[in-house]
């Protein structure tokens, strides 16, 4: 046998142990002696591969000129292939400070440190971690391949995913599912094949999917009762878990824990039942079920409360008078109730079972929930709480007031088209509102501007308060009275406000405002003064005759109508009009001169209603009569023959003329005048002409 010794060099201040020589590898043969010397500032210790006790000897001593250092000598004799590995020297109290050397003990008959004669070894493969198959060799020059048992599929290093190192073995950087089951390493020497031990690679599964207890809330129990808590864990298939309990009385020997496993196709269920046969006050507190698998762990907690006796404690949460608002989506009547064991609960409304009165009433836990709150939900609600087994019973009555936002009734029935108010008339404006509590009425006023549209301003600063006795001015009317009273209408208490205008002279908008603690409602009453009957009218000034003039007047309230226009129906002839605007109304006059009978017909005045946006129309029929020209027709024959039958010579002349129809049609008053002048019968002519004019 040959000896090999490594001596230390004293370097620096010995923050870490040091070795003599720079090589980090040693190469020996079997049946030699390995001698390693270590020096440092503090006490030293060694780590090395598994060795037989009679092979190893360690000698420690103080060294240096002043014995200020520590030295340690490691001797291994005789060396064997199994002794191949890393030898480390470190400080006892600071093990992170170390130095090492890798020693190969070569043996041609045993190229692998872990040889085939050794029993199989289980390796655990973890997800997202490299896999190391530790088939180290006894020589740094040995090459190896990886094979999967039993078919012997060879896997050679590729320097990317599969790496080989004689001091480590094979490293699979990203192992797939293929790398499960038995594997071994193999090498050949002088044509002789050698194998390492078999490594069984097991894919560890430690994924805990879910952990839950049979009670999610606080567990309540009576003293002396039996308590059973069930902790259930769900894990992936092939998972193994450890379930432990932590609770106040876990050292009590009377408590028991039962475990059970159920295997399913895709997962596994693990049960752990904790049973306490007879509860004591000392058992109250927090109970924790902890489930662990590998590096994963999950837990669930539950609080356990122990009562000495059954009880019911019932009282109002915020007094016996409770309030809500109509229109609320839901309202919960929830008194303070603590009871154990859980009691029976029933809710009454005005002495009758609430759920039987209305489908909107629902019991949730111990509370009564009213959905879509309405005014009729007001009343007395009584909760009856009973524990028949222990003879306990309590009740509590709460009064619910439902507040209602004010609503002005006239808004629902009033027309969009405000009617005109006759100039100088007395007007009474009504505003009826319902609300709980009863609303307060308030009146405001906004006058129409001298020009432009009469609109309701949004700013409250542009409205003027209305009070009784206000005198009339250019911007407000004389107010006779403002009154409010309460009366029952349609089965409900309503507030009625009446505003009386003594004389209507100013156009504008009166606003009625009803308000209570819940909200406000208002109604705008358009107060448009008119000097036109009905607010819209047409009239003909004089009778229409041939050759004369036609005057048609269309009048409309200024704040109700605009865009006045005239047209002759069934005619394309344009008409001449003249528009004039007064304080209360607008007038559009149609003018037509030198009338003829073709101007007869229907004339239409159109106007745009400002509130409705629709066109309003009024028609008037015009008949243009012929101009009377003393034309003598057959009726005239009889008339003259009767009047002048006493005058023989002149009467005969007139009858002669009238008997000739064509001449009579051509003869007018001036013709007769000439005729009668020639006969010196002017007096007679004057009589006839008077008769003709009145005919």
Instruction: Answer yes or no: do 436 and 507 share one domain.
Output: yes
User: Does residue 328 register a pLDDT over 90?
Assistant: yes
> pLDDT tens digits for 13-64?
688 898 776 778 999 999 999 999 999 999 999 999 887 778 899 999 999 8
pLDDT for residue 689:
53
Quote the domain boundaries for residue 193. Answer: 121-203
Instruction: Answer yes or no: do 368 and 345 share one domain.
Output: yes
pLDDT for residue 280:
92
Q: Mean of the pLDDT values across residues 643-659? A: 47
Instruction: Answer yes or no: do 509 and 431 share one domain.
Output: yes
d(CA 242, CA 261): 11
pLDDT for residue 602:
93
CB-facing half-sphere around the CA of 386: CA atoms within 13 A = 7
How high is the mean pLDDT of the chain? 85
User: Does residue 635 register a pLDDT over 80?
Assistant: no
Task: List Cβ neighbours of 49 (8 Å cut-off, separation of 6 or more).
Answer: 82, 83, 84, 85, 86, 87
DSSP per residue, 604-669: EEEEEETTT--EEEEEEEE--BPPP-----HHHHHHHHHHSTT-HHHHHHHHHHHHSHHHHHH--H
User: Does residue 584 register a pLDDT over 50?
Assistant: yes
Let me know if residue 320 belongs to a domain: yes
Instruction: Answer yes or no: do 457 and 491 share one domain.
Output: yes
User: Does residue 674 register a pLDDT over 60?
Assistant: no
Q: Mean of the pLDDT values across residues 239-267? A: 88
Q: What percent of the chain has pLDDT over 70?
A: 87
Residues 608, 621: contact at Cβ < 8 Å? Answer: no
Q: Mean of the pLDDT values across residues 633-638? A: 43
Let me know if residue 552 belongs to a domain: yes
Instruction: Answer yes or no: do 419 and 397 share one domain.
Output: no
pLDDT for residue 688:
55
Instruction: Answer yes or no: do 84 and 131 share one domain.
Output: no
d(CA 586, CA 583): 8
d(CA 466, CA 477): 10
User: Does residue 130 register a pLDDT over 80?
Assistant: yes
Q: Residue 387's pLDDT band (boundaries 50, 70, 90)?
A: very high
- Choosing from 499, 530, 561, the residue where a domain stops is 530
Instruction: Answer yes or no: do 590 and 663 share one domain.
Output: no
User: Does residue 647 register a pLDDT over 80?
Assistant: no
pLDDT for residue 686:
57
Instruction: Answer yes or no: do 83 and 159 share one domain.
Output: no
Let me know if residue 628 belongs to a domain: no
Residues 512, 431: contact at Cβ < 8 Å? Answer: yes
Let me know if residue 225 belongs to a domain: yes
pLDDT for residue 414:
57
User: Does residue 6 register a pLDDT over 50?
Assistant: no
Let me know if residue 381 belongs to a domain: yes
Q: How far is CA 439 from the centre of its chain?
A: 34
DSSP per residue, 428-440: EEEEEEEEESPPE
pLDDT for residue 638:
42
pLDDT for residue 76:
92
d(CA 375, CA 9): 100
pLDDT for residue 628:
59
Residues 295, 261: contact at Cβ < 8 Å? Answer: no
Q: Residue 205's pLDDT band (boundaries 50, 70, 90)?
A: confident
CATH of the domain at 277: 2.60.40.10
User: Does residue 657 register a pLDDT over 80?
Assistant: no
DSSP per residue, 184-239: EEEEEETTEEEEB--EEEEE----EEEEEES-SS-EEEETT--EEEEEEEEEETT-
Q: Mean of the pLDDT values across residues 129-154? A: 90
pLDDT for residue 630:
43
Let me know if residue 112 belongs to a domain: no
CB atoms within 10 A of CB 658: 20
User: Does residue 129 register a pLDDT over 50?
Assistant: yes
Residues present in the chain in total: 695
Q: Mean of the pLDDT values across residues 579-599? A: 90
Instruction: Answer yes or no: do 277 and 354 share one domain.
Output: no
Q: Does residue 496 or residue 251 have the better pLDDT? A: 496
Task: List Cβ neighbours of 231 (8 Å cut-off, separation of 6 or more).
Answer: 211, 212, 213, 243, 245, 271, 272, 273, 274, 289, 291, 300
Instruction: Answer yes or no: do 686 and 597 share one domain.
Output: no
Let me know if residue 629 belongs to a domain: no
Q: What is the CA radius of gyration of the chain?
A: 60
Which of 225-234, 259-268, 628-637 shows the lowest mean pLDDT across its residues?
628-637
Q: Which of 302, 380, 389 is nearest to 339 (CA)?
A: 389
d(CA 442, CA 362): 40
Let me know if residue 335 belongs to a domain: yes
> pLDDT tens digits for 259-288?
999 988 888 899 999 999 999 999 999 999
d(CA 250, CA 260): 20
Instruction: Answer yes or no: do 188 and 284 share one domain.
Output: no
d(CA 544, CA 520): 59
Domain count for the chain? 7
d(CA 220, CA 302): 11
d(CA 687, CA 260): 141
Q: Mean of the pLDDT values across residues 652-665? A: 45
Q: Residue 667's pLDDT band (boundaries 50, 70, 90)?
A: very low
Instruction: Answer yes or no: do 474 and 560 share one domain.
Output: no
User: Does residue 668 register a pLDDT over 50?
Assistant: no
Q: Mean of the pLDDT values across residues 544-549? A: 89
User: Does residue 640 register a pLDDT over 70?
Assistant: no
DSSP per residue, 437-451: SPPEEEEEEEEPPSS
Q: Mean of the pLDDT values across residues 498-518? A: 94
pLDDT for residue 418:
63
- Choosing from 592, 622, 652, the residue where a domain stops is 622
pLDDT for residue 171:
95
- Choosing from 307, 324, 359, the residue where a domain stops is 307
User: Does residue 128 register a pLDDT over 90?
Assistant: no
Angle at alpha carbon of residue 452, lines to 450 and 456, rounded to 5°:
90
């Amino acid at each position: 046998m040959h000896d090999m010794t490594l001596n230390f060099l004293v370097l620096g201040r010995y923050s870490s142990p040091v070795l003599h020589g720079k090589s980090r590898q040693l190469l020996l043969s079997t049946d030699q002696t390995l001698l390693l010397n270590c020096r440092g500032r503090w006490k030293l210790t060694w780590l090395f591969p598994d060795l037989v006790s009679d092979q190893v000897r360690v000698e420690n001593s103080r060294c240096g000129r002043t014995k200020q250092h520590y030295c340690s000598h490691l001797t291994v004799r005789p060396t064997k292939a199994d002794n191949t590995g890393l030898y480390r020297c470190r400080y006892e109290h600071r093990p992170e400070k170390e130095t090492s050397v890798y020693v190969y003990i070569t043996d041609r008959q045993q190229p692998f440190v872990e040889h085939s004669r050794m029993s199989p070894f289980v390796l655990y493969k973890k997800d997202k971690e490299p896999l190391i198959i530790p088939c180290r060799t006894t020589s740094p020059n040995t090459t190896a391949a990886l094979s999967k048992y039993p078919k012997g599929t060879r896997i050679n290093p590729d320097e990317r995913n599969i790496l080989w190192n004689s001091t480590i073995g094979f490293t699979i950087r990203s192992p797939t599912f293929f790398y499960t089951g038995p594997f071994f390493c193999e090498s050949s020497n002088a044509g002789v094949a050698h194998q390492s031990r078999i490594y069984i690679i097991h894919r560890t599964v430690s994924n805990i999917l879910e952990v839950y207890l049979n009670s999610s809330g606080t567990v309540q129990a009576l003293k002396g009762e039996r308590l059973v808590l069930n902790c259930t864990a769900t894990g992936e298939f092939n998972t193994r878990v450890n379930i432990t309990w932590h609770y106040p009385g876990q050292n009590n020997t009377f408590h028991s824990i039962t475990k059970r496993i159920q295997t399913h196709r895709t997962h596994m269920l693990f049960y752990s039942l904790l049973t306490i046969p007879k509860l004591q006050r000392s058992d109250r507190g927090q109970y924790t079920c902890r489930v662990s698998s590998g590096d994963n762990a999950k837990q669930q907690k539950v609080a356990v409360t122990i009562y000495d006796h059954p009880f019911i404690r019932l009282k109002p949460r915020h007094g016996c008078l409770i309030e809500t608002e109509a229109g609320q989506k839901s309202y919960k009547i929830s008194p303070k109730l603590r009871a154990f064991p859980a009691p029976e609960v029933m809710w009454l409304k005005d002495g009758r079972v609430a759920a039987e009165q209305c489908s909107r009433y629902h019991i949730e836990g111990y509370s009564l929930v009213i959905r879509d709150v309405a005014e009729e939900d007001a009343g007395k609600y009584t909760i009856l709480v009973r524990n028949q087994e222990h003879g306990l019973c309590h009740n509590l009555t709460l009064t619910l007031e439902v507040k209602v936002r004010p609503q002005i009734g006239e808004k629902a029935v009033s027309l969009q088209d405000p009617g005109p108010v006759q100039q100088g008339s007395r007007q009474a404006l009504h505003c009826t509102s319902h609300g709980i509590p009863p609303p307060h009425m308030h009146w405001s006023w906004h006058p129409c501007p001298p020009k432009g549209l009469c609109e309701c301003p949004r700013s409250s600063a542009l409205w003027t308060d209305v009070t009784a006795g206000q005198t009339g001015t250019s911007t407000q009317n004389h107010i006779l009275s403002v009154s409010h009273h309460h009366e029952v209408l349609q089965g409900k208490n309503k507030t009625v406000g009446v505003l009386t205008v003594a004389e209507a002279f100013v156009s504008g908008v009166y606003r009625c405002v009803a308000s209570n603690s819940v909200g406000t409602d208002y109604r705008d009453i358009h107060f448009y003064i008119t000097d036109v009957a009905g607010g819209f009218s047409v009239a003909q000034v004089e009778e229409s005759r041939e050759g004369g003039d036609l005057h048609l007047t269309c009048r409309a309230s200024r704040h109700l109508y605009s865009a006045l226009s005239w047209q002759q129906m069934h005619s394309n002839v344009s008409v001449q009009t003249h528009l004039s605007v007064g304080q209360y109304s607008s007038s559009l006059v149609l003018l037509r001169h030198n009338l003829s009978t073709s101007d007869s017909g229907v004339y239409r005045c159109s106007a745009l209603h400002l509130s409705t946006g629709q066109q309003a129309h009024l028609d008037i029929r015009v008949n243009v009569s012929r101009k009377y020209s003393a034309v003598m027709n057959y009726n005239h024959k009889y008339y003259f023959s009767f009047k002048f039958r006493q005058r023989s010579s002149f009467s005969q002349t007139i009858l002669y003329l009238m008997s000739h129809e064509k001449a009579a049609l051509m003869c007018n008053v001036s013709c007769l005048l000439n005729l009668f002048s020639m006969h010196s019968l002017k007096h007679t002519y004057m009589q006839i002409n008077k008769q003709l004019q009145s005919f």
